[in-house]
Structure 1
Amino acid sequence: MILIALLVLSFLVFFHELGHYVVARMCGVRVEVFSIGFGKKLITKRIGQTQYALSLIPLGGYVKLKGQDDTQPLESLKPSLESDSYRSKTPMQRIAILLAGPAFNLILAFMLYVAVGIGGKPSLLPIVGEVKPGMPAFEAGIKPNDRIVSINGAKIRTWEELDSAIVNAKDTLKIEIERDTQNLGMQNLEVSLTPIISQAQNVFGEPIYRNLIGITSQRAVGIVHYQGLESLSFGLNETLKASTLIAQGIIKLISGAVPSSEVGGVVSIVSIIGKASQEGWVRFFIFVALISVNLGILNLLPIPALDGGHILFNCYEMIAKKPPNEQIAYYLTFVGWGILLFLMLLGLYNDIARIAQ
């Protein structure tokens, strides 16, 4: 289980670094080292101007670009006359190189979600459980065990699609339902209703106001397949949904809406991946895709030790027409590494606390 988790984490970071590598080469930047793993290099092979290495600590990897050195951040701010140096490139080219890592993580997540869609995702089916008296669904004649087939002509295959259609409704909904009657067998009926706005809770447990029609799920689960262009649409929607959820979670964490005890570390990740690997390839792919999105979004945070921080420096250079002040950049980078270390220790502390419970 631990070995699988380490391999997955290494592959995700490798794919992230592959993004930096590919775009750096496209921009004419020399890649001096491409390592799988950190620490002491166990196996090395030089191909062209790049040294490829397998290193001791199997947690991810890194690429070292000519003219870019995270251990000496001030050096990366100084211009260079060498055409194959990272420092000789325009701010836009450098931003493209920096964005490529997170972008590759999102692309990987998209491909995994597409595979899940084609293979079949276990989903809650749009079958009604309870109908609340006095609510629009009750008044329209919807009954328990009815299956929602379509809303306003759009096919509904999962409870999530049903919920999304209700939440985004602007006016009256035309709902096609499939009902199993004892005497007449399966019947297709159409009802019209207008959702009401009422208080509910979001995924973070916060009170919100949203459209409701007064039904609950029967909790029936089925395998839903997406073929052809549908699988691409499914993959894109799942990637966007995961990205939005993670970004919202970060904002809620910073604002205090989500407690710091929810922050997890590498132990939690290893545990989740290990459990997912035992529950079939579909669930495994879903969790790996989610972690890949998480890695991509977190690297875009404007912390100088991350890709987002370097992007911020380059944006400043584009606007001010000069590199950031070296001393300020140095202190910001130092603070950035401090923030990352704090988050790592917090995640580890929370992991240990959960195990001890």
Structure 2
Amino acid sequence: MSLLQTLLAFLGAIGTLVVIHELGHYLVARWCGVKVLRFSVGMGKVVWMRRFGPDQTEWALSVLPLGGYVKMLDGREADVSKLPPEELKREFTRQNVWKRIAIVAAGPLANFLLAIVLYAALFMNGVQEVSSRIAEPDPGSAAERAGLDAGDVVTAINGEAVAGWSDLRWRLIEATLDKQPAQVTVRRDGRGEFTFVLPAASFDRLDIEQDVPGALGFAISLPPPVLNKVTPGGPGAAAGLQAGDQVTHVDGKLMRDSAAFLHAVRGAPGRSLQLDVLRKGTPIALTITPHAEQQKTGKDSVTIGKIQVELAGQPDMIVVATGPVESVQKAVKKVWDTSVLTVQMFGRMIMGEVSWKNVTGPITIADYAGQTARVGLASYLSFIAFISISIGVLNLLPIPVLDGGHLLYYSLEVLTGRPVPERFGEIAQRLGVGLLVTLMALAVFNDVVRLL
């Protein structure tokens, strides 16, 4: 059932995005007076087709679901010399360059518009997410050195408002890419707002592939450490811990939340800890020695402490909702920010500053589609909006075969006053196909590596 749900979620997302993208091309082509011969969802052999509309356009489903196309009357693909004059007027290459630019750009723009509509709807409805309240920063982390403390609620980073944990993570990723100091504004309960600075050096060795907030010392604030389960035979059970116990202090230090308790235990492999525990309102003192275990962190491994207990409770959740006008404004800004970040990622991969392992393909997209669909409709729609932006940006890259490659040709035509030579276009087309196939192969390879 899980596999079926993942497959259906993937096909639903990709089908929606392909239809919207190609519908952009189709509607603007019709508006510009160009005759559309076929509208296909999918690539390759046509498996179903019907003719509709005044031009008897073929509406088709093709065998490969990863893509689609709008086929227009085009003298480069068919002999149009015998067509009557009124039909020749509707041939694509006979349109002025600005109409051709509008038709080609309409597909990516439709993807951006879809993302804006989805995000605006989600913002108006209200999005439930983890709050931006942070746990006690790791000792020696950038957040701890800057002066941040447990319970701080991050309200802005570099002047950009932070409403929840996703905003916090996003702003820190932007700071990581910029390699500039980050001003973090927080609200402390009963004490007002304060601003702390993470120096540029904090971001020097960070990679956006990793957990950026965690690497900087930011962790989600969790409830007080209350034990939900104690594994028989483990260090916790041997020390006398029971389900329902609340740990208040470790070695005399106040445990404000579960994260603080986890840090204390993980940082004491094989070393005795003095616990102050509340059991049904009665204070109890216990001694516990966490087992030492090796844990991999990338290529390295570290020794951490474990006591084999399960903590209860969930992090603080908030509902972020805005009015219609503000929701549209936020949606436009989010689409812009995401697009800029995506372009920066491509640029840094080309420069060798970011790993090519970040290139993902259909397997990873399908996996995320299934995961978000299982979480709920809001998560699934947010995922579709994000992928829609990615498709829009990808199609605008100046690679022959893609929309961006055609826009590059037409831009050169605007500047020079004449079309790109046909021979040059053919060579560029072949290079573009080769580059696209290489990128797809890399994406599938990365997907398989992640899967294994």
TM-score normalised by L of structure 1: 0.79
Higher relative contact order (CA 8 A, sep 6+): 1
Tell me the alpha carbon deviations over residues 253-309 of structure 1, each in whole angstroms, 9 at most, x when there is no partner.
Answer: 222222333322212211221222111111111211111111110001111111011
Alpha-carbon RMSD: 3.8
> 2:355 — aligned with what?
259
Give me the whole-angstrom Cα distance separating, in 2, the residues matched to 1:68 and 1:243.
34
Equivalences, count: 334
The structure 2 residue matched to 1:177, chosen from 174, 182, 187, is 187
Whether contact under 8 Å (1:159, 1:217) holds in the other structure is: no
Whether contact under 8 Å (1:174, 1:191) holds in the other structure is: no
Runs of at least 5 residues in structure 1 that lack an aligned partner in the other structure = 180-186, 207-213
Over 3 Å counting, the alpha-carbon distance change for 1:68 and 1:277 in structure 2 is: farther
* Correspondence 1:112 to 2:109: no
Tell me the alpha carbon deviations over residues 43-82 of structure 1, each in whole angstroms, 9 at most, x when there is no partner.
Answer: 312311142323232333221111266x68xx9xxxx993
The worse-fitting range, judged by mean Cα deviation, of 314-323 and 112-121 is 112-121
* Correspondence 1:67 to 2:84: no
The worse-fitting range, judged by mean Cα deviation, of 13-22 and 151-160 is 151-160
Give me the whole-angstrom Cα distance separating, in 1, the residues matched to 2:149 and 2:206.
30
Over 3 Å counting, the alpha-carbon distance change for 1:2 and 1:81 in structure 2 is: closer
* Correspondence 1:129 to 2:135: yes
The structure 1 residue matched to 2:11, chosen from 6, 12, 27, is 6
Give me the whole-angstrom Cα distance separating, in 2, the residues matched to 1:42 and 1:136.
58
- Following TM superposition, by how much is the alpha carbon of 1:42 offset from its aligned partner in structure 2, in angstroms? 1.4
Percent identical among aligned pairs is: 30
Over 3 Å counting, the alpha-carbon distance change for 1:343 and 1:198 in structure 2 is: closer
Tell me the alpha carbon deviations over residues 173-210 of structure 1, each in whole angstroms, 9 at most, x when there is no partner.
Answer: 9968352xxxxxxx3x335556363422389717xxxx
TM-score normalised by L of structure 2: 0.64
> 1:242 — aligned with what?
338
Give me the whole-angstrom Cα distance separating, in 2, the residues matched to 1:90 and 1:336.
25
Whether contact under 8 Å (1:141, 1:191) holds in the other structure is: no
Over 3 Å counting, the alpha-carbon distance change for 1:303 and 1:138 in structure 2 is: closer
> 2:202 — aligned with what?
200
Give me the whole-angstrom Cα distance separating, in 2, the residues matched to 1:154 and 1:136.
20
What amino acid is the match of 1:12?
L
Runs of at least 5 residues in structure 2 that lack an aligned partner in the other structure = 1-5, 209-215, 222-314
Give me the whole-angstrom Cα distance separating, in 1, the residues matched to 2:401 and 2:164.
41
Over 3 Å counting, the alpha-carbon distance change for 1:193 and 1:138 in structure 2 is: farther
Whether contact under 8 Å (2:143, 2:198) holds in the other structure is: no
Helix, strand or coil: the match of 2:88? coil
> 1:350 — aligned with what?
446
* Correspondence 1:190 to 2:192: yes
Over 3 Å counting, the alpha-carbon distance change for 1:237 and 1:217 in structure 2 is: farther
The structure having more radius of gyration, on CA atoms, is: 2
Helix, strand or coil: the match of 1:232? helix
Give me the whole-angstrom Cα distance separating, in 2, the residues matched to 1:303 and 1:153.
36
Give me the whole-angstrom Cα distance separating, in 1, the residues matched to 2:407 and 2:333.
26
Give me the whole-angstrom Cα distance separating, in 1, the residues matched to 2:111 and 2:141.
43
